[in-house]
Amino acid sequence: MKVSINPAGFEAEHLAALNRSFGDWGDGRRWRWCFARSSLSEPADIVVAEVNGAAIAGTGISYRRMITPDGGTLLAGILTAAWSLPVKSARGAYMHVISEAMRRIAERGGAVALGFMPQNKSSGLQLLRAGAMAATTAYVSTPAGWNDGLPGELKPCVLTSSLIEELFRRVNRRAQRGLRFTYPDIGEFSGQFLERPHPVEVLADAKGGYFILERLSQAMNLLAVLPADGDARAPGQHLIDAAQLAADQNSKLLSYASNEHAIAEAVAAGLVAKPGFITVTIANVQALSAAVSNALEVGAATSTCLAMLRAFHVENGDRM
């Protein structure tokens, strides 16, 4: 088995493998957005396992900056669209790919590797058995026929340069006491949230909060909720507001939540929460130590990651 990084001329074969593994994963435009965007400050990597010249497993690595609860910064590598073909020769290949991905993340200066997946996905269970830590999350959606019965209050916005600047400001001040993603400039923020493979809309609520949604062919993907300063409503209410917008447009809402209170409130309102988790694997103890301004041994690094996981804020637009 040969494991390589960024093999030349692999785009078409990689895209075919993703569509074979995930069903309708996407087209070349989505592949280029995920793995070859010019707005990325840290270019993505692709790790591939081959047997006799045929690719059998792989993963992308998307690099993102994060801020710790104490204000330190670290680089994380997100395991993006990991796949393994259902063939005998692929047995064990996934963990060979992950091992090489960890080495590559550390080589690039990354402190941790992140994975986002449903709890019933076998690849996530393999990561946990290999020593990854995890925090529970949920994929939140609207069931068929759901309607809160209340009139929707979200209104579309014209995406001006001043609004983009305000969205950029708000996305970087989310969850300031927790672990969260940060975007160093407007170009990287826009590339992640506004310039996506499908059309993006920004809507405002009556309190001055903003909702960023991506309009898919059969659903509305809630990328981020950016409440107004002083908005004290329960976090689940924002999911319910977005769900009502989708229902009013005869569409389905797709969202992702790491806040347990928001998940519980959404479920109480009749939304569906599919259990998921975030996995975290330490790739480079020295890089993690630098982020928390404290020299860590492996055991202390694990405790530090677990503590940060309990305060991890992530939305759909951050993870993919």
Same domain, yes or no: 240 and 294: no
Lookup: tokens for 25? 């994963």
Instruction: At 235, give phi and psi (nearest 5°).
Output: -60, -30
Strands 73-84 and 112-118: parallel
What pLDDT is stored for residue 308 in this prediction?
A: 84
294: pLDDT confidence band, cut at 50, 70 and 90? confident
Amino acid identity, residue 119?
A: Q
Distances (CA, A) of 36 to 33, 57, 191: 6, 20, 11
Amino acid at 220: M
| CA–CA distance, 312 with 67 (Å, rounded to integer) | 10
Which residue from 206, 210, 166 is spatially nearest to 190, judged by alpha carbons? 166
Q: By percentage, how much of the chain surpasses pLDDT 90?
A: 67
Whether residues 40 and 110 share a domain: the answer is yes
Does the pLDDT value for residue 138 go beyond 70? yes
For the chain, where are the E strands, in sequence order? 2-5, 45-51, 54-67, 73-84, 112-118, 133-141, 155-156, 179-182, 200-204, 210-215, 220-226, 253-257, 272-282, 312-313
| CATH number of 103's domain | 3.40.630.30
Same domain, 174 and 103: no
What is the mean predicted confidence (pLDDT) over 78-89? 84
Cα gap 143→256, rounded to integer Å: 15
Distance between CA atoms of 279 and 269, rounded to whole angstroms?
28
Q: Are residues 263 and 290 in the same domain?
A: no
Specify whether 209 is located in the same domain as 283: no
Q: How many domains would you assign to the chain? A: 2
pLDDT score for 229: 85
CA dist 33 and 23 (Å) reads: 18
H/E stretch holding 62: strand 54-67
| 149 & 108 share domain | no
- For the ranges 73-77, 145-149, 297-301, which has the lowest average pLDDT? 297-301
281 and 202 belong to one structural domain:
no
pLDDT recorded at residue 90: 67
312-313 vs 179-182, strand pairing mode = parallel
DSSP state of 228: P
* Residue 89 banded pLDDT, cuts 50, 70, 90: low
- Quick one: pLDDT at residue 235? 81
Cα angle vertex 186, ends 181, 188, to 5°?
55
How far, in Å, CA of 212 to CA of 194, rounded?
8
Based on the domain organization, do 264 and 183 belong to the same domain?
A: yes
How far is the CA of 258 from the CAs of 25, 120, 316, in angstroms? 24, 17, 10
- What is the overall mean pLDDT for the chain? 91
- Predicted confidence at residue 60, as pLDDT, reads 96
pLDDT in tens, 255-284: 999 999 999 999 999 999 999 999 999 999
203-241: pLDDT as tens digits: 999 999 999 999 998 999 999 999 998 887 888 999 999
> Domain check: are 270 and 307 in the same one?
no
Report the C-alpha gap between 195 and 24 in whole angstroms.
21
Average pLDDT over every residue of 105-129: 91
Q: Does 250 share its domain with 286?
A: no
pLDDT in tens, 3-52: 999 998 889 999 999 999 888 899 999 999 999 998 888 999 999 999 88
Q: Are residues 268 and 206 in the same domain?
A: yes
Q: Which domain holds residue 60?
A: 2-137+277-319
What pLDDT, on the 0 to 100 scale, is given for residue 180? 94
- pLDDT on residue 112: 95
Judgement on whether residues 6 and 133 belong to the same structural domain of the protein: yes
Full-model pTM: 0.92
- For residue 317, pLDDT over 90 is answered with yes
- Report which DSSP code applies to 232: -
